[in-house]
Structure 1
Amino acid sequence: MRTINGEDVTRAVAGCVAALRPAADRDWTAVKAGRVELSCHGTAFHIAECCLGYAANLAGRAQDAYVPFEATLDEGTDNAGLLHVIEAAGALLAAAVDTAPPGVRAFHPYPFRSADRHGFAAMGIAETLLHTHDIAQGLGLPYEPPADLAESVLTWIFPQVKPGSEPWPTLLWATGRGELPGRAPVTEWRWRNNLVIPADRVTLTGLRPAVARDLRLGGDGGLDWIEGGPYEGTRGAAGMLVKAYEAGVHRPEFGVFALVRHEDGRAIGGIGFHGAPNEEGWVEVGYDLAEGARGQGYATEALRTLADWALARDDVSMVIATVEHANVPSQRVASRAGFTRATVEEERIAHAEHGMEDGLQLYVRRA
């Protein structure tokens, strides 16, 4: 698949500079930028600050806070100089994105305190597109970015937003800058980088809608899979994620995760939730491995880690897994991960109220 990358950052910055350069001779400090509180000048400098800060965190592998420095403009810098600063900061972010190894993550506060290279690219693009829109609105300039850039931002860091008929209006609506028919105005918003949960030998890496869509269509999702992967269960789970995203009901923290092996960075399987917790606090999990990774304890490790993560939350009271009667290896995985066979009453409820199919055994871990 084509992942979001440094070239996309460069395209976004080039579009920004091209849109704003015709007004470089105007006083940007005297004009408010759209709906934001900053002036057009302050907002333009904010674009540069964001790209530079993201580049520094990613290149410097910051883990607990932003790299401690502050950018300033030389006294007397005019708007043409400011646009040059934006270009330079964008180039630094693009280079940091394209040279970062696949598994590297660095600090960003929301929502899970880290982002990978794709997340930093998407955040830099989002800041550039949206604030160029704000400045252009304030200065009365025309501006509309390429639709594929807006779509990339949505599918990489706005997984909770139901897609609209066109990506740019949808992104403007999702960030409180526009309206969409049939949707309430947005007054508060945040983008969402993907969740990663480390285990001993693997990392559970949350799949974004863009990645899940590629897996559903038969691609590799931008991951380096061992032979035989991804297995059919992972592709099916990716399809469920895409359906939830398209319906606007996807909760990213209760999505699907690729299992990425620490020793070589290769994906060996998938694990994830069948949806968000129900009213009783039950949440169902499923898992599979490529054949070459089976029998080595990876599934047990991943299932135990994901269950521990879920049961530490206030909205989860029980993690459940359904296993076919004949699938003894999967039953053993569940048992080794701390699950036990459900009670007769729990299985009755699962059949009667939650649609559990006949021929399945219910395994549970309680909070």
Structure 2
Amino acid sequence: MDDLVTERLILHPLNAGEAEAIVAGTPDDGARWAPEYPMDDDVAAARRFLRHREEGNGARHLGAYEIRRREDGYAIGGADFHGPADADGSVTIGYGLVPSARGQRYAAEALRALLTYARECGVARVKGDADHDNVASQRVMAAAGMRLVGEDERVKYYETAWTV
């Protein structure tokens, strides 16, 4: 798959070697990582991606991505679909940015691009969640067009859905 390019970002789909480098914490040749990258969530996403490659049953996984700034090519975070879409066409997404890249609307820009991509791939619903105290992530999902659909004592749940 090709990179997804937005106004300020490149969403680069990871291949197995790049995912392994993230898990190891050592950039591939030529990779440019911001100082705080990868974070624990990036490592977890890379592991999920690699696990699906090993154990996948042939179901299409929409991937895991490095979020890179176009201006300098540095990886400043990541995003991933947590697996293939389920029988109802739903998939969960996660994302995160290194602290130095937060507050610049990069996350909402990346999320919007990934939602568009999911829709183009025939996904019916994308879900996300954020802890009650993670107001920034709640704002990102709302800014990307996701709507609050529920909450429990710990988490708020968001989604966006299309007729496919």
Provide the TM-score with structure 1 as the length reference: 0.42
Aligned partner letter, 2:116? D
C-alpha distance in 2, partners of 1:282/1:340? 15
* Structure 1: distance between partners of 2:46 and 2:9: 19
Instruction: Indicate yes or no: 2:64 matched with 1:269.
Output: no
Instruction: Name the CA distance, whole Å, in 2 between partners of 1:282 and 1:252.
Output: 12
Alignment check: 8 A CA contact 1:212 1:221 kept: no
The answer on whether the counterparts of 2:25 and 2:38 sit within 8 Å (CA) in structure 1 is no
1:279 to 87, 90, 93: 87
Superimposed CA distance per residue, residues 194-226 of structure 1 (whole angstroms, 9 cap, x where no aligned partner): 432111100110001111112112222442111
Secondary structure of the residue aligned to 1:237 is helix
Contact 1:206 1:258 in 2 (8 A): yes
Which of the residues 149, 157, 160 maps onto 1:362?
157
Secondary structure, counterpart of 1:254 in structure 2: coil
Deviation at 1:247, TM superposition (A): 1.5
Q: Of the two structures, which has the highest relative contact order with CA contacts closer than 8 Å and spacing of 6 or more?
A: 2
8 Å Cα contact 1:244-1:250 kept in structure 2: no
1:237 to 37, 41, 45: 45
**Counterpart position of 1:303:** 111
Give 1:274 deviation, angstroms.
Answer: 0.2
- For 1:235 and 1:250, how far apart are their aligned partners in 2? 23
- Tell me the secondary structure at the aligned position of residue 66 of structure 2: strand
2:3 to 180, 192, 196: 196
CA contact (8 A) 1:257 1:271 kept: yes
Which residue pairs with 2:36 in the alignment?
A: 228
Within-5 A mapping of 1:149-298: 194-222=1-29, 223-249=31-57, 254-298=62-106
Compare the two structures and name the one with the higher helix fraction: 1
Percent identical pairs in the alignment equals 33
TM-score by length of 2: 0.90
Question: Bigger radius of gyration, 1 or 2?
Answer: 1
Which amino acid is 2:118 matched to?
A: A
In structure 2, do the counterparts of structure 1 residues 323 and 203 end up closer, same or farther at CA, with 3 Å as the change threshold? same
Gaps of 5+ in 1: 1-193, 348-356
Greater fraction strand: 2
* 2:133 is the counterpart of 1:326: yes
Runs (4+) of structure 1 exceeding 3 A deviation are: 248-253
Match of 1:260, SS state, is: strand
Report Cα offsets for 1:136-162 as digits up to 9, x if no partner.
Answer: xxxxxxxxxxxxxxxxxxxxxxxxxxx
Cα deviation per residue 1:274-303 (whole Å; 9 max; x = unaligned)? 011111111110000011111001000000
Q: Is the 8 A contact 1:202 1:259 kept in 2?
A: yes
> Residue by residue, what CA displacement relative to the aligned partner does 1:293-351 show, whole Å, maximum 9, x if unpaired?
1100100000011001111233x111110111110100001010101101x5xx7xxxx
Alpha carbons 1:251, 1:276 under 8 Å: kept? yes
Q: Secondary structure at the match of 2:85?
A: coil
Letter of the structure 2 residue corresponding to residue 301 of structure 1: E
